[in-house]
A and B are shown apart, each in its own frame.
Chain A
């Protein structure tokens, strides 16, 4: 049968973690400025 490919590891990557933080902060700043 098919082998399931589950990779839930987006917090494992430091570069991804920083990008996520930056993005969420920008979204928050945008919401509050509206």
Chain B
């Protein structure tokens, strides 16, 4: 099944939680949001992303002093799944 809706909810919750903890650097949340926008739709609806999000959210709620560690982790994962522009690969025989 697709985790799209659940992942969107978890991500919104993570953003909300982090925005309160990163007020000194207001550019961080828009950056994280833009990484999320650029990620592939398939990954955003995956169980893998749900696991990463769930873990980051639980951790940031229990260890607020490491908020940037978790944001960085999520950014790295999203960057790794950035939707690539279509490459001119010749798949036809």
The interface of chain A, by Cβ under 8 A from chain B, is: 7, 9-10, 12-13, 15-17, 19-20, 22-24, 26-27, 30-31
Chain B residues bordering chain A, tally (CB within 8 A): 14
The answer to whether the Cβ of B66 comes within 8 Å of any Cβ in the partner chain is yes
Additional A-B contact list (17), CB under 8 Å, known A17-B68, A19-B69? A7-B64, A10-B65, A10-B67, A13-B66, A15-B66, A16-B65, A16-B69, A19-B68, A20-B68, A20-B72, A23-B31, A23-B71, A23-B72, A23-B75, A24-B27, A26-B31, A26-B75
Interface of B is mostly: helix
**B67, A22: Cβ atoms under 8 Å?**
no
Interface of A is mostly: helix
